Amino acid sequence: MKRELDSLVTQMHSSGMRYEEAVREFKRQYLREVLVTHRGNQCKAAEELGMHRNTLSRAMAELGLDLAEVRATLKRPPRSERPVLSTVRSLYRQG
């Protein structure tokens, strides 16, 4: 993981990204990842991050991180793309 982070920092630096922008982007991506892990639940995400939910909400607003955007990535696929339940059950019984 350290090697990947080193590579990312090198890329950010060589592309001319300023410190403030790099920190902002890191925070935004980190918060987004934790929110996705907790399916958009701010209380659980804040608890994992060790902060109050209001602090998380404020940080999200400052970073332009929209909860609707996070939740949109978690929506179930349309029915036409979901596996048929009977097929799933028969595969489960066979395996």
Q: What residue spans define the domains of the chain?
A: 2-94
Q: Which of the two residues, 13 and 80, has the higher pLDDT score?
A: 13
Q: How far apart are CA 91 and CA 85, in angstroms?
A: 10
Span 68-95, mean pLDDT? Answer: 69
Q: What is the pTM of this model?
A: 0.71
Mean pLDDT of the chain: 86
| Cβ atoms of 41 and 70 closer than 8 Å | no
Q: How far apart are CA 62 and CA 52, in angstroms?
A: 15
List, for residues 6-55, the tens digit of each pLDDT value: 998 999 999 999 999 999 999 999 999 999 999 999 999 999 999 999 99
Specify the CATH class of 2-94 in words. mainly alpha
Tokens of 22: 């790099």
pLDDT in the model for residue 1:
85
How far, in Å, CA of 68 to CA of 59, rounded? 15
